[in-house]
Structure 1
Amino acid sequence: MRISELSERTGVSPASIKYYTREGLLPAGERTGYNSTAYDESHVARLRLIRALIDTGGLTVAAAGEVIAAIDSPDIDLDHAFGIAQRSVPRDVTPPSSTAIEQVRAVMRERGWATVADNPGIPLAASVLDDLATTRTDLSAVLPRYAEAIDIIAEADLDAVAASGDRDQMTETVVVGIVLGDVLLAGLRRIAQESHTHRRYRGGVVPGQAHEPGQANETRELT
């Protein structure tokens, strides 16, 4: 297919397609003439991946390039791919207090979690605990329950990796799952929070809705 068709199918402009190719995120198409290039389904899939990493995952082009390089590298270990993906997600974190760091490490010890010393999740979680401490110190008490739930999610992540097939698919599942998985979990958490709120405080009744699980109410007014 020509670049115009590739653009139409993916919603990515020809200029962006050429830019991603220059930056090494997208393999070049096959030259079929002096001023023409052919693309195939692999380019469609790669462009959709690029846009998912950037638009949904919030990665910069440079960070997306590092993630894609990990996917394409034939020699990279899965644990190394995990590290690259974890560090690619943009997070502005204020250096946390030693108290918050110790709270996180206490939960790690309780759950039997072993990580490298500079795992980005440690300061990220600790910085949130510092923020909570300025307003609601009681919320930090639920940290062990959160950790228990995260253990289940982490196991599910690894099960998905193992089930994804060959090595290339496993690596892609690792990096894409980390980058986009955070967004997916945030969405599911909001759905579950509202459902449990209605169940706990309204007897399961959703205001203005037909009360069927999964049925959205497009006419409900939010107040």
Structure 2
Amino acid sequence: MRLAELSERSGVSTATIKYYLREGLLTPGRQINATTAEYDEEHLRRLRLVRAMIQVGRVPVATVREVLRHVDDDSLGRTIRLGAALWALPQVPEPDEEDEHIRAAHREVDQLLETLGWSNARALVTISPAYRSLVVAIATFRRLGYDWDPELNLAYARLMHQAAVLDLDFVETHPSEAEKVETAVAGAIFVEPMLQALHRLAQEEESARRYGFE
């Protein structure tokens, strides 16, 4: 397809597509002559992802470029490729390791991973932003004085493992490695808010069941 058709099918203006091409967010089309290039379904799929990341996910262009660099790096195994792409997304700041609540949260999270038998997750603790996010969240909760039972974290973690199985089962339905990683990235940006919304709806439903509307 030509640029005009790519624009029409994607709903993205030709000017914006040209900008994405200049920024390296889309690979160049197949050059037909000096002024015309041809694009395919992969360009259309990637364009829709880029547009959604920037417009809906509010991901900066430089970050999108970094994420896609890992998505397209077929020299990496799938786990590292996926991890690198997800880790390039905006993350929580590095925690203050001198903070007593942070140190206690590290111990709590390490114990949680050991109890779960998540040896692969434990191997990534020094580099995984998700590990840092969990440490910061638990530390913040403790700092506010809430008595959150570690057994609750264990129960939630087991539920999240079931969600992860569903996630990767869905990822596996896509044919190419790039599509698999793209789908996982899209899930991190768009499915996580959906799960959060479902969680809150479930809380509202359970609250109504228990306490009514009075």
Could you tell me whether the CA contact under 8 Å between 1:10 and 1:44 is conserved in 2?
Answer: yes
Partner in structure 2 of residue 111 of structure 1: 116
> Does residue 172 of the first structure (1) align with residue 177 of the second (2)?
no
Q: How big is each residue's C-alpha offset from its partner over 1:39-79, in whole Å with a ceiling of 9 and x where there is no partner?
A: 34332221111122233334322222232233333332111
Partner of 2:103: 98
Q: Which residue of 2 aligns with 1:143?
A: 153
1:129 aligns with: 138
Amino acid at match of 1:19: Y
How many Å apart are 1:171 and its aligned residue?
3.2
Alignment partners' CA distance in 1, 2:94 and 2:211: 36
**1:92-116 CA distance string (max 9 Å, x none):** 3351510111111111111111221
Tell me the residue number matched to 2:99. Answer: none
Identity of counterpart residues, as a percentage? 33
1:7-42: CA deviation from partner (whole Å, max 9, x where unpaired): 343232333211211122112234445544443433
Cα distance in structure 1, aligned partners of 2:201 and 2:11: 29
Native 8 Å contact 1:129 1:140 kept in 2: no
Structure-2 change in CA distance of 1:193 and 1:105 (3 Å): same
Gaps of 5+ in 2: 97-101
SS at 2:199's partner residue?
helix
From the superposition, tell whether residues 31 and 170 of structure 1 become closer, same or farther in structure 2 (CA, over 3 Å): closer
> Runs of 5+ in structure 1 lacking a partner?
208-223
Q: Does 1:153 align with 2:163?
A: yes
Letter in 1 for 2:81: A
Give the corresponding residue for 1:57: 57
Q: 1:172 to 1:126 in 2, by over 3 A?
A: same
CA RMSD of aligned residues (A): 2.6
Kindly tell me: are residues 55 and 104 of structure 1, through their superposed partners in 2, closer, same or farther at Cα, counting changes over 3 Å? farther
Moved more, 47-56 or 134-143: 134-143
What's the TM-score once normalised by structure 1's chain length? Answer: 0.77
8 Å CA contact retained: 1:56, 1:183: no
TM-score (norm 2): 0.80
Distance across 2 between alignment mates of 1:71 and 1:94? 24
Contact 2:2 2:39 in 1 (8 A): yes
Aligned length: 204
SS of the aligned residue for 2:172 comes to helix
Alignment of 1:9-20 (within 5 A): 9-20=9-20
Cα distance change of structure 1 residues 189 and 89 upon mapping to structure 2, 3 Å threshold: farther
